[in-house]
Structure 1
Amino acid sequence: MRLLNYDTLDIVGFAGVRERILVMDSRQFGYQKREDTWEGSGQLMYLAHAYFKPGGSTGRHQHSDIDIVSIVTRGRLHHEGSAEVQPDSAVADSTQGLAEIKAGQVMVQRSGRSGFMHNEINPDADIVGMVQLWLQPAGSVSERASQTVIDVGRGLTTVYQGIDTELSISCLAEKEVLSLQDSWLCYLFQGELEAGNHAILRGSLFYPDEGEFMAKADDTRLLIIKPVLAE
């Protein structure tokens, strides 16, 4: 089993954010790719496990030609952005133009052709945890940027569907067993897994040996990045 744990990586960052970067794809970053990061898979270009300093923010900035998936793992974020909120979003913009995203929720921002501006803000005096992924848009792309927030509960929740890449989060109870395939790229961002004699710790990015994996704690959360086969 090929595995990379975030404890082996340097902490880097910008503005009020600190992060360990696990994926930087050469197709997106070229010579700027860090040597200790993995290449992406399918549309996945970037994956980082980050935290916001107390009161910290990213600062308002622009993205084009990239879709961003943000998984809040601890605390809450105030989000301000220019992307159009979708009707099925679990969170709507407030009258102040801010949306509050909490642990257990995922925000998906699709750039469309127009791109989007955004700022993520930690309003509290404690750190906020987040896993963020960048994906290269593919196939039919809408004109306007869009955003939606998804609640993640027990079982398997699909949070992003691309032309050849699907992102899902598996939320497991203690001792629950999950079958994984060796072509899936997985990131364990909460809890611990056991596979035979192997323990997989929080912060592990891995390509599994095909088989069964058991959660060692309740509310174990695993991000699964699957290739989508053309019909």
Structure 2
Amino acid sequence: MDLSVSLQDGVALLEMRRPPANHFDEALIGWIVDAARELDDDPACRVLLLASEGKHFCAGADFGGGEFAADHVAAAELLYRRAAQLFDLRTPIVAAVQGTAVGGGLGLACAADFRVAEAATRFQANFGRLGFHAGFGLSVTLPELIGRQKATDMMLTARRVGGEEAHRIGLADRLAEPGRVRETARGLALEIAAAAPLAVRSMRATLRGELAGRVRGALDHELAEQKVHWATKDSAEGIAASLARRPPVFTGE
């Protein structure tokens, strides 16, 4: 099974199991959403802990194989429909981010309420290096977390942001000791679980406001832009270069 679910001490662990990169597709995001919805209705669950098995948290969609390699547009339409549902969940989410959270994987991490990282963690909005518009709602969630200017920096340069910088700018909420990301994330989850659950959910809903609706609007716009870009030579070059692990050469075509 590509997703395991366990519940202990009020904290539900949802672990992605597609190591080492933990690429997602509509099926995996759907399993996460469906499991989380069930846990939303379970009074024994107070916090969701989103984690992954292996070296990396999530490298986003796999353009080298599977649904995205076959048809970018159709795969993205299905994926974003499911991704939008993450923002309807009522239970707080803590993400344990080891290794890298890149592209859509960064979007998944930013769908959580909190991110726990270590110095070696790398966050990257690499879309500009792939030749197409950012997705997974990052147009809303990333500036919401770190401000418009820092989000613009990350998106337009596509540079990697290490764990210490991520903690400094507010992208990571806790910085764990090396090798202790999962334990530190669980510790934060337990702190939240110890608070009054009705009050926690109510305050969370108040603070999030219309976030879910804003993300849905962003997803529609992001997909429309991506559809245009996926038909360009630059996008073909960016994806090919990424798969070949070489620098891309863009021509603006």
TM-score scaled by structure 1?
A: 0.30
- Name the structure with the higher strand share: 1
TM-score scaled by structure 2?
A: 0.28
